[in-house]
Amino acid sequence: MDLFTLTLSEAKAMLDRGECTSVQLTKSVLARIDAVEERVNSFITLRGEDALAQAARADKARQQGRAGALCGLPLAIKDVLCTSTMPTTCGSRILEHFLPPYDATVIEKLQDEGAVLLGKLAMDEFAMGSTSENCAFGTPHNPWRLGYVAGGSSGGSAACVAADECLASLGSDTGGSIRQPASLCGIVGMKPTYGRVSRYGLVAFASSLDQVGPMTKDVRDCALLMNVISGHDRRDATSSPNPVPDFTAALLNGLKGLRVGVPAEYFGAGLDPEVERVVRGALRMLADGGAEIIEVSLPHTEYCVAVYYLIAPAEASSNLARYDGVRYGYRDMQASSLLDMYRRSRSAGFGGEVKKRILIGTYALSAGYYDAYYKKASQVRTLIREDFDRAFASCDLIASPVTPTPAWPIGDKGDDPLALYLSDILTISANLAGIPGMSVPAGFSREGLPIGLQLQAAHFNEEILLRAAWNLEQRAGIRGRRPELS
C-alpha cells in the first residue's frame, strides 16, 4: 500500500500502532508530489527538506509520548494564510517575496498538534475567482481530468488533496471557495460558521465573508481537522466564544428524525442535468438513511450574486488599500513621485481580476453611490439571512447542488466573466448569511467528473452537516475512489 493514499485518520492509526513513521509517510507523499506535481501544478511553495525535518521531530515527540492529534501528518496550506517560515503570496505578484513575521492562528494550532507542513498552495489572486486561473504562478489542474479547472479560489488545495499530494489541506471560503473546488475535485470541504474558526492571519479579501475551513479526503478527516482549528481567539474580534464540541462524535449511523430541506430555487434554469441527476440520487440516499425530505423556499436567492458582487468588492477595495508599495510587497523603483509609485506599484503588482474588483468596490463606496449600492446590498443581505432563519424553523439542514456544472476546460469561460461569477450562485448565500456549509462527494457525471452535494445548516450546527455527510459517504460507495494520475 502506498502511504500517500491514506486519509488523516488512517495514517494516524498506523503511526499510533508503530506500523510506519512520520518520516516514511512524508517521504511517500513527497515522492508522490515529485511524480505528479508537474501535471497538477498545485503548489506555489514546496519545502520538502523542511517537511522531513518536521517529520523527524514528530517521530521523536511520538516516542516521548507527546504526540498531538495531527502528529507527523503531512498537510499543505492555501497560500492565503500567514506562515512565518514560508512566503505568503496570496497568488499575487505584489506579495511574491513576502515573508510574514507571524503565523496565522490556524497554523499555530496545526503546529501545536504536530502537523507536518509541506508548503503553500495555488489560488486565485487574493482569493478572487472561481477557477484558480487568476493565480500569478500558474493554474492548478483538476486531477480527474488534466486541462480542466480545479475550481477556486482554493483550487490548489482541492487539487492537492485529490491528487494525494498531501493528506489534507486548509482553504478559505468567501463565496464558495472551499465548497466549489471540493465538489469539482471530488473531496470533502467545509466552510464553518462565521466566527467558529479564527481569521487572525488570514489575508483579508472580504472580512465579513471570509472563513477558514478544512479540505479533506473524507468526512472523518473533516471532523478531525475541525476539532483542531475551531475555537475562540482573542486576537480575532469576530471569533465566537461558543464552546467547541467533539465533531468526530457526530459521525453516527442513521438519519432518523432529521429533516432535510430542498430549496426549489436551487434547481432552476442553468443547472446541468448531470448535476441534478447526481444530487437527486444523493437525496434519495439520505432518505434511505431515515431522513425526511421536505421542500423549503429561499425566495431572495435570485439576488445573491448581485449582493455578493457589491459587498465583497467593496470590502476588498478597503482591505487591499494597504498594498501601496511602502510598507511591504512589490514596489516600482522607477517612479518619479510618491503618487506615481502608488499607481505603478499597484498597476504592476495586481492582476486584472483584482484590479477590476477594486474598481467596482471603490465605486460602490464612493460619495453619492454608497446608499444606492453598498447600503442597499447590506439590507438585502439581511433578507437573505432571514430566508435561512425561516427555512431552518422547518428543517434541520438544507441540501442542494454545490455548483451548476461539473468542471470545465481551463480557459473555456475566460471571455465570459458573468458565467464565472454565476458558478458560485449556489454557494454565495451561506457566506452572506454566515451559516456553515459543506460539499461532500455524491457521484460522478457520465464523463467521469466529480459532483458534490452541498449541505447547509443553522449557525454553529456543523455537527448536523457532518452526520448527514458521513451517512451519505457510507451509502454513496465512492469513498476511496481516486483519479488515475500514475
Indicate whether 291 belongs to any domain. no
Longest dimension (CA), the chain: 70
Task: List the strands of the sheet with 74-78, edge to edge.
Answer: 43-46, 116-121, 74-78, 168-173, 211-216, 188-191, 437-444, 450-457, 397-401, 259-263, 292-296
Is 57 part of a structural domain of the chain?
Answer: yes
Residue 200 lies in a domain: yes
Q: Which pLDDT value is given to residue 410? A: 97
Please give the C-alpha separations between residue 33 and each of 47, 70, 135, 155, 214, in angstroms, as whole numbers: 11, 20, 20, 16, 20
Pairwise CA distance, residues 208 & 219, whole Å = 27
Residue 26 lies in a domain: yes
**pLDDT value at residue 267:** 95
Classify residue 317: in a domain, yes or no: no
Q: Which of 439, 355, 349, 422 is nearest to 131 (CA)?
A: 422
Exposed e or buried b for every residue in 269-304, given b needs 16+ CB within 10 A?
Answer: eebeebbeebbeebbebbeebebeeeebebebbebb
Q: Coil, strand, or helix at residue 46?
A: strand
pLDDT of residue 450: 98
Residue 25: partners with Cβ closer than 8 Å, 6 or more residues away: 3, 6, 11, 14, 15, 55, 72, 73, 74
Instruction: Compute the distance between CA of residue 345 and CA of residue 328 in angstroms, rounded to an integer.
Output: 11
Q: Is 90 part of any domain?
A: yes
What pLDDT, in 10s, does the model give residues 66-114?
999 999 999 999 999 999 999 999 999 999 999 999 999 999 999 999 9
Q: Show the domain range for 75.
A: 3-254+445-450+464-476
- Distance in angstroms (rounded) separating the CA atoms of residues 293 and 283: 8
- Identify which of 275, 324, 304 has the alpha carbon closest to the alpha carbon of residue 442: 275
pLDDT at 486: 56
CATH code of the domain in which 166 resides: 3.90.1300.10
Burial of 207 (0-12, 13-18, 19+ CB in 10 A): middle
- pTM for this model (two decimals): 0.97
Give the angle 223-226-230 at the CA atoms, nearest 5°.
Answer: 155
Residue 436's contacts (CB-CB under 8 Å, 6 or more residues apart) are 190, 191, 192, 193, 196, 430, 456, 457, 459, 460, 461, 462, 465
Catalytic residues: 78, 153, 177
Of 77, 105, 232, 227, the closest CA to residue 167 belongs to 77
Q: Which residues of the chain have pLDDT under 70?
A: 486
Contact (CB, 8 A) for 57 and 49: no
* CB contact at 8 A, 211 and 194: yes
Single-letter residue type at 140:
P
Q: Is residue 259 part of a domain?
A: no
Measure the CA–CA gap between 49 and 405, rounded to whole angstroms: 40
Domain count, the chain: 1
Taking only the tens place, the pLDDT of each residue in 431-457 is 999 999 999 999 999 999 999 999 999
